[in-house]
């Protein structure tokens, strides 16, 4: 009898423990988020950004396919396309959306005031009406700003140091990108102080980029400065090649241009911004509100000089500038 009671007890205990074991073995709930990216899935720069973002999420315990799923959409530097891609993501009903650049954020906030948004590389979110303040965003969006307008003067200054013969600088920009306007205003004072004539050059497609650069090259003492615009980033290989072909000294706001063969860049490490966006995604998925998460501003800017490009243009980079560069590409 005692053996029978022991068997029943053991079986009863096992039955009670079985639901607990089954629950413990159930897979984690997968959290679905969206990502509205500014370039293209095959773009090496975009791949770097995605890798940095996902690796940082993994360090926080979010592993794609296990407890998180990321739906990506790309708008290829075209603001009009950003609106269509934003609509696609919103229709998937994600718990959160990562937004790249100003047009991406603009496309999302026009279509949703409820889905949390973490933005990356947005210029002047307060001035453009996306948030109430940097300290208290107050709505459904928060994230990391990209560029201080005063920095564009530094880009122009470095260009003049490397190419002192430059007396007129064209500023190509896409009129469809609203953040370009304050950039253009902020650089006017720098142009006056450096004795450089600034020429605003609106471009909307590759054909206009080619025509603009050919026209600028006809005047001696000409150079180029490209604003931090996803449209020009998307076409950076074309731009860098044309600058070399027309022998135009050109300065850029992003490292990817210098890495592609451009003369110099001075600006924020974009890949690092994607890495730093992950903790905000983590906090929001765990219950934090975007309205309460202060917007982070850039603290580090990097100067990259491409010596090969300088030599091809017959330019000598001052040793003091080389010493202060964060990276020198041979």
Q: How confident is the model at residue 10 (pLDDT cuts 50, 70, 90)?
A: very low
pLDDT over 90 (residue 227): no
* Interval 132-150: pLDDT, tens: 999 999 999 999 998 776 7
| Averaged pLDDT of the chain | 90
State percent of the chain over pLDDT 70.
92
Half-sphere exposure of residue 111, counting CA atoms within 13 Å on the CB side? 20
The pLDDT of residue 189 is: 82
Supply the angle between the helices 44-59 and 270-285 in degrees, to the nearest 10: 40
The pLDDT of residue 14 is: 45
The pLDDT of residue 143 is: 98
Which residues, other chains included, contact 121 with Cβ-Cβ below 8 Å and sequence gap of 6+?
A: 38, 100, 101, 102, 144, 145, 146, 147, 228, 268, 270, 273
State percent of the chain over pLDDT 90.
76
* Interval 77-132: pLDDT, tens: 998 899 999 999 999 999 999 999 999 999 999 999 999 999 999 988 998 899 99
The pLDDT of residue 180 is: 77
The pLDDT of residue 76 is: 94
Mean pLDDT of 228-254: 95
Domains parsed from the chain with CATH numbers: 31-147+269-299 (3.40.50.2300), 151-268+302-329 (3.40.50.2300)
The pLDDT of residue 15 is: 45
Residue 189, token pair as written in the block: 């004072």
The pLDDT of residue 11 is: 44
CB distance 125 to 119 below 8 Å:
yes
Which residues, other chains included, contact 28 with Cβ-Cβ below 8 Å and sequence gap of 6+?
A: 66, 67
Ramachandran region, residue 169 (left: φ > 0; alpha: ψ -120 to 50; beta: rest): beta
Taking residue 69's Cβ as centre, other Cβ atoms within 10 Å add up to: 14
Mean pLDDT of 21-29: 59
Closest CA to 266 of 126, 143, 152: 152
Q: How confident is the model at residue 5 (pLDDT cuts 50, 70, 90)?
A: very low
Euclidean distance between CA atoms 236 and 232, whole angstroms? 6
Mean pLDDT of 275-303: 95
CB distance 251 to 264 below 8 Å:
yes
Instruction: Please give, one letter per residue, the 3-state secondary structure of the chain.
Output: CHHHHHHHHHHHHHHHHHHHHHHHHCCCCCEEEEEEECCCCCCHHHHHHHHHHHHHHHHCCCCECCCEEEEEEECCCCHHHHHHHHHHHHHCCCCEEEEEHHHHHHHHHCCCCCCCEEEEEECCCCCCCCCCCCCCCCCCEEEEECCCCCHHHHHHHHHHHHCCCCCEEEEEECCCCCCHHHHHHHHHHHHHHHCCEEEEEECCCHHHHHHHHHHHHCCCCEEEEECCCHHHHHCHHHHHHHHHHCCCCEEECCHHHHHCCCCEEEEECHHHHHHHHHHHHHHHHCCCCHHHCCCECCCCEEEEEEHHHHHHCCCCCCHHHHHHCCEEEC
């Amino acid at each position: 009898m005692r053996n029978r009671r022991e068997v029943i007890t053991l079986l009863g205990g096992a039955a009670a423990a079985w639901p607990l074991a089954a629950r413990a073995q159930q897979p984690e709930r997968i959290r679905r988020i969206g990502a509205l990216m500014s370039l293209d899935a095959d773009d090496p720069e975009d791949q770097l950004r995605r890798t940095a973002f996902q690796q940082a999420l993994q360090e926080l315990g979010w592993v794609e396919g296990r407890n998180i799923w990321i739906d990506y959409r790309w708008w290829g530097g075209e603001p009009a396309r950003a609106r269509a891609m934003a609509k696609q993501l919103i229709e998937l009903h994600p718990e959160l959306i990562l937004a790249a650049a100003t047009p991406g954020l603009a496309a999302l906030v026009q279509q949703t005031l409820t889905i949390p948004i973490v933005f990356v590389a947005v210029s002047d979110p307060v001035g453009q009406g996306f948030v109430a303040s940097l300290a208290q965003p107050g709505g459904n969006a928060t994230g990391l700003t990209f560029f201080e307008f005063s920095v564009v003067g530094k880009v122009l200054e470095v260009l003049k140091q490397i190419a002192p013969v430059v007396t007129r600088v064209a500023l190509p920009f896409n009129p469809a990108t609203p953040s370009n306007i304050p950039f253009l205003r902020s650089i006017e004072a720098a142009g006056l102080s450096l004795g450089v004539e600034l020429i605003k050059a609106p471009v909307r497609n590759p054909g206009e980029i080619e025509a603009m650069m050919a026209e600028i090259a006809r005047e001696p003492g000409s150079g180029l400065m490209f604003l931090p615009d996803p449209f020009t980033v998307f076409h950076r290989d074309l731009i860098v090649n044309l600058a070399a072909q027309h022998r135009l000294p050109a300065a850029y706001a992003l490292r990817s241009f210098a890495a592609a063969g451009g003369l110099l860049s001075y600006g924020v490490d974009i890949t690092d911004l994607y890495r730093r966006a992950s903790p905000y995604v983590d906090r929001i998925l765990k219950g934090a509100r975007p309205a309460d998460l202060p917007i982070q501003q850039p603290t580090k800017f990097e100067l990259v000089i491409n010596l090969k490009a300088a030599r091809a243009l017959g330019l000598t980079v001052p040793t003091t500038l080389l010493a202060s560069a964060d990276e020198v590409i041979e």
